[in-house]
Amino acid sequence: MLYKNSSDVKVLKFGGTSVGSVANIKRVKAIVADNEKKIVVLSAMSGTTNTLVEISEFLKLKQSKKALNLIEKLHNKYASVLDDLIVASELKQHTGNYINTVFDFLKKSTTANYTQLLHNKIVAQGELLSTHIFTNYLHQEGVNVRLLSALDFMRIDKQEEPDDFYIKQSLFRILNEALPADVYVTQGFICLDAFGNISNLQRGGSDYTATIIGAVTDADEVEIWTDIDGLHNNDPRFVEHTHAISNLSFDEAAELAYFGAKILHPQTVMPARKANIPVRLKNTMRPEALGTLITSNVSEEGIKAIAAKDRITAIKIKSARMLLAHGFLKKVFEIFEKYETAIDMITTSEIAVSLTIDDDKNLVAIAEELSKFSTVEIDTQQSIVCLVGNSIVKHKETHRLFKVLQDISVRMISYGGSNNNISLLVNTKDKTKALKRLHNYIFNLVTT
């Protein structure tokens, strides 16, 4: 039984950019082909899932010609990858046959009745393609590799949460029945639901797949490989001179992921934190870079990073009847629960509650119900700027932050709800200015 002592195993996940070109696939091969035991989780090649979602949307709208056009373009892309990557004739034919089977399915889907299950099957094809191609490439390069189907062990329950018992039992059975290998390749993102139908872990779910596998196998470490050196202390798309953070706690990483750090999916750290398994963020393009290590260890006080989350809607619920009214907040929260809409920030006064949401698909219905017993004001185009670190609300210098934002209108402040987080709500047009101003003050020692 190969995995009796599975703590000798690492789980490595590679994102879409990491396997997004022939050159990058070769980089991934160089990383994983080191004769150490590992489970490799792959995303779809970059751009593939977006295209598959677009194809599905065209089918939903009964625009089969547009769907077929996209299918043909995507097929050509994969045919080109195959030509450049695999030269061994038998493997090339085998891989080409698989690719053709996938695209035959997609073409046949254009004449089928659209359902959510059909959508799930369509968007699953990206991971199935990338893992099949990569496994055959490793075979060609002499790597001892086996392909495992995530659909044979990855399952969610009726609450759409990972079914840990099923996953562990199924994965260990598959690993122990499989021929010995140095590298086991499987798909991220895709899974079965509680009824055995193809489903998925939503966007960013490949990271989640990796930490779920790491937790159930008690792996040494989970490595998340992307195209950036690690979690940065600010968003490099908007702020210059950012740098990767060497160490974070699970709590700090979870806060950053939830409030906008794109490199990490918000759910990723949950299984690893529960099983106390380190998560390391690495750069496929610069494997020598140290990256970011996320563990249960807490080090250093003060602010470590800043992140921002866009497309936030602020809702102010005002009612004179709220003053000392028992059950008012319960009534408000029940409406959001009814429409399955999560709340990010909340502040209260004697006659008003202000809160934010990042999912506005049920906003009209929510506002209508709230209006039955209160006055509702809605502000869109808002952003949450989040400052994260260990015990920052207790740090003696924290109050100075608000001085550097004196000419930026701050709509809401969440302070004290978590020792590791201070959140500010600003108009999105002021987001970049706020990020730069805070960055200069905190990390470049620029004072006011």
Q: pLDDT by residue (tens digit) across 354-383?
A: 999 999 999 999 999 999 999 999 999 999
Number of helices followed by number of strands (H, E) in the chain: 12, 16
208, 104: one domain: yes
Does residue 402 register a pLDDT over 90?
no
CA distance 402 to 394: 15
Contacts of 39 (CB under 8 A, 6+ apart): 9, 10, 11, 12, 148, 183, 184, 185, 186, 213, 217, 219
294 domain-assigned: no
Does residue 128 register a pLDDT over 60?
yes
221, 316: one domain: no
Name the percent of the chain lying above pLDDT 70. Answer: 95
Lowest mean pLDDT among 241-255, 270-284, 384-398: 384-398
User: Once rounded to an integer, what is the mean pLDDT over residues 309-317?
Assistant: 95
203, 308: one domain: no
* φ/ψ (deg, to 5) at 203: -60, 140
What type of residue sits at position 138? L
Higher pLDDT, 448 or 262: 262
178, 53: one domain: yes
In total, how many domains does the chain have?
Answer: 2
324, 437: one domain: yes
Contacts of 393 (CB under 8 A, 6+ apart): 415, 416, 418, 419, 422
Range of the domain at 398: 303-443
Which pLDDT value is given to residue 445? 53
Domain containing 75 — which CATH number?
Answer: 3.40.1160.10
Please give the mean pLDDT across all residues of the chain. 91
105 domain-assigned: yes
Does residue 296 register a pLDDT over 80?
yes
308, 428: one domain: yes
2 domain-assigned: no
From 186, 208, 227, give the residue that closes a domain.
227
291 domain-assigned: no
Residue 103: CB atoms within 10 A of its CB come to 19
123 domain-assigned: yes
Alpha carbon of 32 to those of 38, 84, 149, 277, 400: distances in Å? 8, 20, 19, 20, 47
86 domain-assigned: yes
290 domain-assigned: no
- Tokens standing for residue 349: 């006064």
Domain containing 401 — which CATH number?
Answer: 3.30.2130.10
From 178, 197, 227, give the residue that closes a domain.
227
Which pLDDT value is given to residue 398? 64
18, 152: one domain: yes
246 domain-assigned: no
Instruction: With cut-offs at 50, 70 and 90, classify the pLDDT of residue 1.
Output: very low
Which pLDDT value is given to residue 446? 42
